[in-house]
Amino acid sequence: LNKHDEFKFMNVILEALNVGGRNYEVVADVSIGEPPTSQKVEIDGKKVEWYGFIRSIVFVNTQNQGRLPPLEELKVKTLVCPVGEKLSMFEPHKYEDAAPDKGAVGVCIESLGLLLVSLHLSGTNKYGLPEMHFDRDRKQQLHKISKTFEEQVGGAEAYAKLKKVVMGDYNFRCEMKSAPEDKEKGGGDWKAVDAEVMSGDSARVQTAFFKYDRLQRWMVGQGEWPRHEDSHPGEEKVEG
């Protein structure tokens, strides 16, 4: 956003928050990425399109000062971890290690022992392949984010003590059929999932989610946040 649009953007948020005598103030604002493009652009023979930023803005209600430390005493640290592969629109090979089209930003409020994470992981971008193929990338990205944030907050001991709230687009899919022919555009997998969602039956949708959502199944087996020792997750062990 340019300065004018950024000013309007923040004002709209603060006006919505500051009603009924409340008074919110920004305590952290962190982002990675590049401005969105209106269409795909060819760079070094590749079609590139940026969709915007991964951004986290944290507000605190100053009326809660009786329950929180004074704002000037809040210890806040911002964290960043890019994990993408996209070429930059401004300098094609700017990102040698990892591009900020995918990754995470974090806000560590040390005074509260709290870590807020906003992330965007790789999506499914090819037909004819089971989700297991793409899950490997997402899991590895989660491990990198976790390890990087651990280092940025001061090490394993400090990281372990933090309460973590992780949100964003994990991009794990709900997969009911994994055969190559079922993974084509509009194939059997898409039709099966669509049938459950469009049934209008909340119980069916919930059952499908708990049984077939790839992130849900991984969490049940390995815990809510990836462990560094699992940096090379194995093949899928449970089917159906």
What pTM does this model have? Answer: 0.85
Q: What is the spatial order of strands in the sheet that 163-169 belongs to?
A: 76-84, 99-109, 114-120, 163-169
What's residue 104's pLDDT? 98
What's residue 1's pLDDT? 66
What's residue 17's pLDDT? 94
Give pLDDT < 50 ranges for the chain.
222-240
Residue 138: partners with Cβ closer than 8 Å, 6 or more residues away = 121, 122, 170, 171, 172
What's residue 129's pLDDT? 94
What's residue 217's pLDDT? 86
Rounded Cα distance, 105 and 27, in Å: 15
Structure confidence by residue, pLDDT tens digits, 113-131: 999 999 999 998 899 999 9
Structure confidence by residue, pLDDT tens digits, 130-149: 999 999 999 999 999 999 99
What's residue 4's pLDDT? 87
